[in-house]
Structure 1
Amino acid sequence: MISLSDVKSSNSLISSTLPPGLVAVFVGATSGIGEITLKKFAEYSRQPRAYFIGRSQDAADRIVAECKALNPAGEYIFMKADVSLIRVVDEVCKEISVKEKVVNMLFLSVGVPSIDRSQTPEHLHLLAALNYYSRIRFITNLLPLLQHAPSLRRIVTVGGGGHEGPLDPTDFSALRVPLLGLRGHLSTLISLGLEAVARTAPEVSFVHDYPGTVKTALLSRAEGVSGVLLRMYVSILGRWVCVPVEESGERHLYLATSARFPPVRGGSAAVRLGAGVGVALGTTGETGSGVYSVGWDCESTSRAVRELLAGLREKGMVEEVWRHTEGEFNRITELDGG
């Protein structure tokens, strides 16, 4: 486990290690983990510029004011959008690309308080759309800006890192995957999707993490029997099992800035490692392999998960996942006349 004191020590070096004017994009940052990580980024960085994307203008106005109070030298730009839609993701990314030549950090934490099988107007499973398809679209659209960044080049997606499980190749979008297998399936889909993208961008590092149980608005809005059970679990055991929101923000900023998670090539600038902390194992089981699946404690995933991913990799599942993903994107853009 990377201790909270080590995490805070690393974050305290951001202002002296990384250059001023870092550009970050936060997707899903008007509440919860995205919001607190955005605030930590504002607190620790020099003259940061942060785009944050969500649906609540009222929340955004509050967050801009709070970030300005933390760091008046920063710039905080809200973009109101429903990012469950791929065409909307494309519009947001186009707007950012017009304004920026580089992006240093892409942080993805958008979610939905439901695990039903509802679909978006683009005929994607809503849960999978927000956890996988939309995020991958942000990544691929903004990847050129990340690749051109002269310093930090990091992507963090908050999901189920370390909880990868069996993947149903006949149902990548998880419309029929049994409830008990849903987290494992989607977590594997995310990790393999990141591996596919990383093959084209060795100078960028990718982190897929599990945040633990964090008391956020998303938790309170979780629907159905599973939502009731989860709130009961947190109510009874929360003192022992929950990660405090402030700690979650510190840990996620650490994932986004520490040299513990380097890219394969180019060694992009990041906060140097503290004493006794080494470079993390990637999803391939190799140190510093560029794609990392980590738990709430910032430690690499277990041997069992790495072996599961290795088996899927050997079966060509990285390629299969990517063919499916590109197929869905092509289908959607053709529907839109793109």
Structure 2
Amino acid sequence: MVSHSAVQASNALIASSLPSHLVAVFVGATSGIGEATLKQFAKHTREPRVYLVGRSQAAADRIISECKTLTPLGNYTFIKADVSLIRVVDDVCKQIVDREKAVNILFLSAGVIELKTGTSENLDLSLALTIYSRTRFIVNLLPLLQAAPALRRVVTVFAGTKEGPIFPNDFGCDKVSLFNIHSIRGHMCSMIDFSLEAIAKDAPSVSFIHDYPGFVDTGIFEKTSGALASVVRGVSKVSDALFRSRRERYIPIEQSGERHLFLATSARYGPANGEVLGTPLGREVAPARDSCGKVGGGVYVVDENLESASPEVEKLLGQMRQDGMREKVWKHTEGEFNRITGLMRDMEGLIDS
């Protein structure tokens, strides 16, 4: 476990060990973990350039005002968008590409607990936000990430280390019962991991992290609707009854922001090419194991204690990898992108279909 004091010590080194004018894109930053991490980023960096992508103008105005108090010389741009739609993601990325030559951090935390609700592009809403939209952001902004000096990092917040078998004939969870929550979560986690691995093969200078934040009281259960959200709310209430107070169950939102800033900036999670990027490692912090179980491989699956996945999870992913599941996931994702936009990304980059 990486201690909270080690996290804070690492974050305190950002201003002195990383350059000014870091460029960060926060997707889903108008509430919850994204907002908390953005504020920590503003607090610890020098003259950052930040893009907030979300749906609420009012929330963005409030957050930008608070961030300017923390770092008056920071530059903050809000892009209002419904990122559950792949075509909207493409438009958002074009706006960023037109303005920036490099991006240091891509932080992805948009999501809802709502299955069996479709988007206008015929994707499940929850999977659209958690898997397809995030993958599209990474693909589109990858050239800017690869061009960045000092730090090149992608963090996607979901449920890393909770992986499970993938439904090989139901990638979009169209057939599975929405009451099979744990199996759905495991399926989604493994899809995220293999998507990151597929992209990372051609981006050895970029680090990719899929993390599980633990129980953070973000209010997501109250903000989402649908049958699955109702089930999860019920389970959460029963679980809460086992604790003397919610405080014993949940990680404070500010502390979660600190942890996620650590994920986004610490040299613990280095790229596959061996570069040492990020804040220096403290005495108690060692380089992390990647999703294949080796040190410094570039794609990391991380739990709420900022530790790598268990040997059991590594074994499960390894078995599915041997069965060609990574390639199957990527082929499916390419197919969805091609269906929606007419553009396809193979392992070499974006190509016209």
TM-score normalised by L of structure 2? 0.92
Matching of residues 117-196 of structure 1 within 5 Å: 117-178=116-177, 179-180=180-181, 181-196=183-198
Please give the alpha-carbon distance, in whole angstroms, between the structure 1 residues aligned to 2:56 and 2:316: 39
The residue that corresponds to 2:84 in the other structure is 84
1:214 maps to what in 2?
Answer: 216
Question: Counterparts in 2 of 1:313-328, with a 5 A limit?
Answer: 313-328=321-336
Matched, 1:242 2:250: yes
Rounded Cα–Cα distance in structure 2 between residues aligned with 1:151 and 1:247: 25
Q: Distance in 2 between matches of 1:235 and 1:75?
A: 44
Which amino acid is the alignment partner of residue 230 of structure 1? S
Q: Distance in 1 between matches of 2:206 and 2:286?
A: 19
Give the drift of 1:269: 2.6
Q: How far apart are 1:234 and its partner, in Å?
A: 3.7
Displacement of 1:232 after TM fit? 4.4
Q: How far apart in 2 are the matches of 1:307 and 1:32?
A: 32
Match of 1:2 in 2: 2
Change (3 A) 1:153 1:272: same
SS in 2 for 1:135: helix
* Identity score, percent: 54
Matches within 5 A, 1:225-240: 225-234=231-240, 236-237=242-243, 238-240=246-248
- Compare 44-53 and 234-243 and name the one that shifted more: 234-243
**What is the letter of the counterpart of residue 287 of structure 2?**
V
- Residue by residue over 1:271-309, the C-alpha shift from the partner in whole angstroms, topping out at 9 and shown as x without a partner, is 010002110000000001100000011000100000000
What corresponds to 1:255 in structure 2?
A: 263
Alignment of 1:54-73 (within 5 A): 54-73=54-73
Give the CA deviation at 1:162.
0.3
Distance 1:232 1:59, change over 3 A: farther
Q: CA deviation at 1:224?
A: 1.4
Counterpart CA distance in 2 for 1:176 and 1:42 is 43
> Quick check: 2:89–2:137 contact (8 Å CA) kept in 1?
yes
Cα shift at 1:268: 5.2
1:91-124 deviation per Cα after TM superposition (whole angstroms, max 9, x unaligned): 0000000000000000000011x33311100000
- For residues 58 and 238 of structure 2, what CA distance do their matches in structure 1 show? 30
- For the residues of structure 1 that align with 2:148 and 2:5, how far apart are their CA atoms? 29
Contact conserved, 1:153 with 1:268, CA < 8 A, in 2? no
| Matched pairs, number | 336
Indicate conservation of the 8 Å contact 2:266/2:280, yes or no: yes
How large is the RMSD of aligned CA atoms in angstroms? 1.5
Question: Moved runs in structure 1, 4+ residues, more than 4 A?
Answer: none
Equivalents in 2 of 1:217, 1:72: separation in Å? 29
Whether the 8 Å CA contact 2:221–2:232 is kept in 1: the answer is no
Instruction: Indicate if the aligned counterparts of 1:283 and 1:306 stay in contact, CA closer than 8 A.
Output: yes
Contact 2:162/2:186, CA 8 A, preserved across alignment: yes
Deviation, 1:235, is 6.0
Amino acid at match of 2:45: S
SS of match in other structure, 2:342: helix
Give structure 1 stretches of 5+ with no counterpart. Answer: none
